[in-house]
Amino acid sequence: EASKSLNFIEHIVEEDLRNGFDPEALRFRFPPEPNGYLHIGHASSICLNFGLGLRYEAPVNLRFDDTNPAKEETEYVEAIKRDVAWLGFEWDQECYASDYFQQLYDWAEALIERGLAYVDSQTSEAMAEQKGTPTQAGTDSPYRDRSVAENLKLFREMKEGKHAEGSHVLRAKIDMASPNMLMRDPVMYRILHKAHHRTNTDWCIYPMYDWTHGESDYIEQVSHSLCTLEFKPHRPLYDWFLDQLVSKDKLRPKQREFARRNISHTVVSKRKLLQLVEQGHVKGWDDPRMPTISGLRRRGSTPAAIRNFAETIGIAKRDNVVDMNLLEFHMREDLNKVAPRVMAVLDPLKVVIENYPEEQEEWLEAENNPEDESAGSREIPFSKELWIEQSDFKEEANRKFFRLKLGGEVRLKNAYIIKAERVDKDAEGNITTVYCSYDPKSKSGSGTPESQRKVKGTLHWVSAKHAGEAEVRLYDRLFIDPTPDQHEDKDFLDFVNEDSLEIVKAYVEPGLLEAKAGDRFQFQRLGYFCVDPDSTPDQLVFNRTVTLRDTWAK
Ligand code: ATP
Ligand code: MG
Ligand code: MG
């Protein structure tokens, strides 16, 4: 960890420390708005903030930025907590901007008293017209010079619910000619007669993001408030509000910005993800096709794979698109270490071993994970009738086909060498059964010369009479375009892949019938798979997490 090169945010912290900043005063926060589930873009921010916490042994708060009752819900709060914890991070305090509503209100009154805020009673259209343009100064509101007494009276009435939505707002009195449009008397409060998921109907005025965020950082004494680049122009406003409030003996937070991460073939915006859910393109926020943390978890990703991905892409100064393949690379890399190997057949073809005794069965030893000796081994049943993959047999094939063909030999993994002798076909000419012979002396690990004989090609298989049945869900990209939300003339929903889910019936080795939701496996030669919570005692359901190799068309 210590040898890892520093990202530019860490360089900023290092410089502050060199300049005498007290390391004990370092404090960070991750500040999601609970208006949806966390996605893979958030993982970058989570890993950045909690990574700083680990590096500097500093506390990191989980702060819910819950100032918009129209869009926020307790369900989202719960999901966010679950996801951050699942990623492996521990927050110091669980905070809510809504806990600061009274403090923010008191400070707002203080600003009014000092002539730094006023109630504007115009329509939002009128206010927008007066804003001006970046090259042209705005026009003062006719209410800009309201008396302190009148402002206070109106603001209190707004709070008491005496005014309709849209009839008044509280604005900071800054500079209608500022070259930064955000400094042209920004709105601090608006009236919303809506219940809030935590404060219920206690409030009917709600503070705006800019007025809330820096002040929440100040209340929590967050030293470095890290946000994405779109907030860079907000920094002067963040600082202006703090200038009015910070007392000398207290830490003054500072905002710094880093680039938002976009991932190819998906969208990372809670608003857009909500549309996918509401319009039924996916089954929910945790659908395995979703780029949400909960979707990735359900699909079978490990937390380490997501952390390693975030670490690899690092923290950038400019917005960019990261290839989804890189995330999948990290899933494979971690699953390779931790996922037990098992055998499952997704597209079955019957094999009958003619010289194997009818009633015989035997239990063969199979290694659970060649990457992990401590994973041990298990026993799998072998018998006269087996399933192999359709694609592993051809009647005729050239020398490069290292699978089973008529007259050819292959090894069955952990079992015997077999030779294909003849086939049965149905009326349409499809092969229904491959009849084989086996070499009884060739059993894997038996130490006989026959067991050591080299044959090209090893196939996975399951014993037909012992096999369990399972439903397997195979996922494709959710979007057919690499950057679905970056087309000016088209909506991202136009690029939804209508064939992103294929469901097949599979045969699995019997030990898998004990598997529990969330268990992850490598189906040998096929990929990584994870037990879906839709599984019932009668029907196992697996999600394909990733194939073994990158098979996406470039
Ligand atoms: P969304 O558009 O998905 O709602 P947001 O930025 O509004 O994104 P927040 O809940 O405010 O979502 O995000 C919490 C933190 O995560 C913020 O600091 C935000 O900047 C950061 N974040 C969100 N999306 C990304 C992303 N794609 N890459 C990096 N950081 C992100
Ligand atoms: Mg936000
Ligand atoms: Mg948002």
pLDDT digits (tens, 9 = 90+) for 79-123: 999 999 999 999 999 999 999 999 999 999 999 999 999 999 999
Handedness of CA 386, 389, 395, 396 (dihedral sign): negative
Kindly report the protein residue whose alpha carbon is nearest to atom 26 of ligand 1: 41
What is the pLDDT averaged over residues 440-446? 95
Residues 118 and 257 occupy one common structural domain: no
Residues 243 and 269 occupy one common structural domain: yes
The model's confidence at residue 554, banded by pLDDT at 50, 70 and 90, is very low
Residues 395 and 524 occupy one common structural domain: no
The model's confidence at residue 12, banded by pLDDT at 50, 70 and 90, is very high
The one-letter amino acid at 477: R
Domain boundaries, position 22: 8-97+210-326
DSSP state of 329: H
Is residue 341 included in any domain, yes or no?
no
Is residue 337 included in any domain, yes or no?
no
pLDDT at 2 over 70: no
- Last residue within a domain, chosen from 269, 296, 326: 326
Beta bridge partners of 529: 521, 544
Kindly report the protein residue whose alpha carbon is nearest to atom 23 of ligand 1: 42
The model's confidence at residue 549, banded by pLDDT at 50, 70 and 90, is confident
Catalytic residues: 33, 260, 270
User: How many whole angstroms from 321 Cα to the centroid of ligand 3?
Assistant: 19
With tokens 């492996």, the residue in question is 88
As a dihedral over the C-alpha atoms of residue 292, residue 298, residue 299, residue 303, rounded to 10 degrees, the angle is: 70
Residues 14 and 47 occupy one common structural domain: yes
Is residue 357 included in any domain, yes or no?
yes
Is residue 339 included in any domain, yes or no?
no
Is residue 331 included in any domain, yes or no?
no
CA angle 162, 163, 167 (to 5 degrees): 165
**Whole-angstrom distance, CA of residue 64 vs CA of residue 44:** 17
- Last residue within a domain, chosen from 164, 179, 208: 208
Is residue 554 included in any domain, yes or no?
no
- Last residue within a domain, chosen from 208, 242, 277: 208
CATH number at residue 155: 3.90.800.10
Residues 219 and 85 occupy one common structural domain: yes
Within 13 A of 270's CA, how many CA atoms are on the CB side?
14
Kindly report the protein residue whose alpha carbon is nearest to atom 1 of ligand 1: 269
Residue 331 contacts residue 546 (beta carbons within 8 Å): yes
Residue-wise pLDDT tens digits, 226-247: 999 999 999 999 999 999 999 9
Is residue 169 included in any domain, yes or no?
yes
Per-residue CA distances from 326 to 258, 311, 501, 522 (Å):
20, 12, 21, 19
Please give the pLDDT value at position 3. 53
End-to-end CA distance of the chain: 34
If one residue of 44, 95, 228, 235 were mutated to test the ligand 1 pocket, choosing by the most ligand atoms within 8 A of its CB, it would be 228
Residues 456 and 352 occupy one common structural domain: yes
Share the mean pLDDT of the chain. 96
Residues 444 and 414 occupy one common structural domain: yes
Kindly report the protein residue whose alpha carbon is nearest to atom 14 of ligand 1: 32
**Which atom of ligand 1 lies nearest, measured to the CA of 262?**
27
pLDDT at 552 over 80: no
Please give the pLDDT value at position 171. 98
Two structure tokens written together for 252: 């003054």
Residues 222 and 288 occupy one common structural domain: yes
Please give the pLDDT value at position 551. 62
pLDDT at 29 over 70: yes
Residues 155 and 240 occupy one common structural domain: no
Residues 202 and 228 occupy one common structural domain: no
pLDDT at 418 over 80: yes
If one residue of 35, 37, 45, 226 were mutated to test the ligand 1 pocket, choosing by the most ligand atoms within 8 A of its CB, it would be 45
Give the number of domains in the chain: 4
Q: For residue 467, which of 300, 338, 346, 339 has the smallest C-alpha distance?
A: 346
Please give the pLDDT value at position 550. 73
What is the pLDDT averaged over residues 2-16? 88
Residues 113 and 185 occupy one common structural domain: yes
CATH number at residue 382: 2.40.240.10
The model's confidence at residue 399, banded by pLDDT at 50, 70 and 90, is confident
pLDDT at 546 over 60: yes
pLDDT at 553 over 60: no
pLDDT at 312 over 60: yes
Please give the pLDDT value at position 1. 47
Residues 20 and 69 occupy one common structural domain: yes
Measured in degrees and rounded to the nearest 5, phi and psi for residue 439 equal -100, 105
**Which atom of ligand 1 lies nearest, measured to the CA of 269?**
3
Ligand in nearest proximity to the CA of 230: 1
